[in-house]
Amino acid sequence: MVFSSMLFVFLFLPANLLSQVLLPSPKAKNIAMLIFSLAFYSWAGPRYLLLLVGMVFICWAGAILIQMSDTQGRRRLWLCVTVGLCLLILGVFKYLGFILGNVQSLFGVPKVIPQIVLPIGISFYTFQLISYVADVYRGQVQAQQSYWQLLLYASLFHQCIAGPIVRYKDVQSDLLRRRTRPEEISAGISRFAVGLAKKAVLANGCAAVADQLLLMDQTAMAAIPAMGVLLGAVVFTMQIYLDFSAYSDMAIGMGLMCGLHYRENFDYPYMSGSITEFWRRWHISLSSFFRDYVYIPMGGSRCGAVRQLFNLLVVWFLTGMWHGASWNFILWGLYFGLLLAVERFVLGPEGQRWLPQVLRHGGVLILVTFSWIIFKFTDMGLLGTAVKGLFGLNHNGFTSGAVSLLFKNNLFFLIFSAIACTPLGRWLRSGLRAMGEGGGLFGAIDAAWDVLHPAVLLILAAMALVGDSYNPFLYFQF
């Protein structure tokens, strides 16, 4: 089940919200939420629910043992054992096939590589549980004595599948003393409707265009003209933002409806003036996880330039690996690691300020758009063909009538999608709200907008989803 499905929007979610509004106590709400979350996670098959339940048990027991230990050495031992077991499980399910495949290509063994299905959401809930155990070790939170409460935290269907990566300390008080407030329910409905429309109308529409240009067949990809590859890369750049930020919007909105407050995961990253700023705005929960639990513990920026560079590349190697067991993701992570190293050690703050703002923004968009080509193709041969095609090295020509027609037929849709990647809508909404504070006509328009726009967006999304079988979430694969 996905958020952008008719079954979820018009049956599962209303039933869940009704339980949260009608049940009187936080305990009762939590029991209902746990039942809904486990049902949601096991919808495609219950077998991997056991894996989630088992990993939560490991971290529940590990955190209690850490808190009970009377010496630092024992605390560190239980931390390493608990985190090590979580990473081992993640490694087996996500990376074993990739590792054995590379060993086989080098040495010819093993003859048979086991086909292991990747459990949905495993990267997200593993990192959430690791952050919880690490925070208990640091003394930032108390170990949760109730196993079921920790299972609820890890399995919350709002964000268990594709984030954001929620830290236990951010929702601990909400889970214990949860209330559903009318104003937050209203804000949550609005946020969910925006995310659903962003996904069903814009992200899916961009996907339909990008998939006509960034093809999964090497011969066909080689024939796409250079402008076609560029257009495909630009549209995929919009698609991946609209798709992933839509999921985060819906997760944050559903959390608000139920009295849970999740942090923002995106802040219009394509408005950034540097790669460093881009990663402060893109997938904030992941980049902050690596900063707080990997980069800073390794020494961060508190050491010499060589060690800083090493720390940076390790973090970005792991960031690439987190996204998938494929060489293109490793290359994608190291690509950003090198760009960040150039900004820090070569350009520096003064060097970046020397460039005009328009050039900084334009440069970031070019570099990020190219990065999504690396991200798109898990087949390295296809990736090489796409990069060569971008520069016309496949004897593929500059453009074609088919590419021009595709662009013209989708021009207004692509313009609207590009606007949706900017904070223009938020600025206009803030302006309308400011003008409506004094009442009068603008006050009436502002009030009407609050009531009508979620309904309009839900109708548009439902119209887009009816009969549309092409409805993937890109980050489900991670």
Label each residue of 118-145 as H, E or C. CCCCHHHHHHHHHHHHHHHHHCCCCCCC
Amino acid sitting at position 118:
L
Contact 383, 328 (CB under 8 A): yes
323 annotated active-site:
yes
End-to-end Cα spacing for the chain: 16
- In the block, residue with structure tokens 């496949």: 394
Question: Which listed residue (158, 323, 395, 453) is catalytic?
Answer: 323
What per-residue confidence (pLDDT) applies to 403? 94
Question: CA of 120: how far to CAs of 117, 163, 328, 413, 478, in Å?
Answer: 9, 12, 21, 32, 7
What per-residue confidence (pLDDT) applies to 161? 84
- Give pLDDT tens digits along the chain (478 positions): 788 788 888 899 999 999 988 888 889 999 999 999 999 998 877 888 999 999 999 999 999 999 999 899 999 999 999 999 999 999 999 999 999 999 988 888 888 888 888 888 899 999 999 999 999 999 999 999 999 999 999 999 998 888 799 999 999 999 888 888 888 888 999 999 999 999 999 999 999 999 999 998 999 999 999 999 999 999 999 999 999 999 999 999 999 999 999 999 999 999 999 999 999 999 999 999 999 999 999 988 888 888 999 999 999 999 999 998 899 999 999 999 999 999 888 877 655 666 778 888 999 999 999 999 999 999 999 999 999 999 999 999 999 999 999 999 999 999 999 999 999 988 887 887 777 776 677 677 777 778 888 889 999 888 888 866 555 556 555 5
Q: Please, which residues have CB within 8 angstroms of residue 319's CB and are 6 or more apart in sequence?
A: 286, 287, 290, 333, 336, 337
What per-residue confidence (pLDDT) applies to 352? 64
Report which secondary-structure segment, H or E, holds 105. helix 72-107
